[in-house]
Homo-oligomer: A and B are copies of this chain.
Amino acid sequence: MDKTASQNDTGASAARRRLLDTATRLFYTEGIRAVGIDRIIAEAGVAKATFYNHFPSKDDLVLTYIKEQDRLGRDAVSALPEQPPRAMISAIMGRISAAVVAGGWRGCPFLNAAAEYPDPTSAVRQAIDARRTWHHDVLRELLLADGDPTPSVTASLLVALSDGLLEAAYLDDPKGVPALVAEALERLLVRR
């Protein structure tokens, strides 16, 4: 998961920043429903009234957490050096390996959140939808530029592989995942 949140911060309040950082850590490592407001404000060293001054409700905090993770991921992709489509696809998929070997991996925050939010019309689920659409679209356009004959299908397969390997890194063996990412790219992309 992206952790460089404290830097480019939106919202501009030390207390708010501490709240969001603490919530991000706790929601990610322990689950959303499992973590209460009292716990977050205690570990952030913030009063309850201050919390409700910055976030109208817990759900709003959750939504902010999800949207920030989304933004950080997109920013990281935007910051990748310009390179040919095929190399760019490898670089994007390579972010999986980077996230996973760092340690403390607890699965994809978006998939974990989706498991706790069954209502597809909820704001959290819609934010997750937006994230997934972005991911698919980025890959599809790169595949199109790379000359892939079925860019949308290949993009769907790459998204599925990403999700599956992120789960494998959480539940099975993180160390084996980078090799699997490379192997998957070999097999899913058209040989040239």
Contact = CB atoms under 8 A, between A and B. Distances in A.
Interface string A151-175: 0010011011111110110111000
Interface of A is mostly: helix
A132 interface: yes
Number of copies: 2
B171 A132 contact: yes
Interface stretch (A59-67, A73-81, A105-113): A105-113
B161 A180 contact: no
Contacts of A106: 118
B157 A161 contact: yes
B183 A157 contact: yes
B31 A116 contact: yes
A111 B33 CA distance: 16
Contact of A180 (B114, B157, B170): B157
B170 A159 contact: no
Given A33-B31, A115-B115, A184 B171 contact: no
A113 to B, nearest CB: 8
Given A111-B115, A116-B116, A184 B164 contact: no
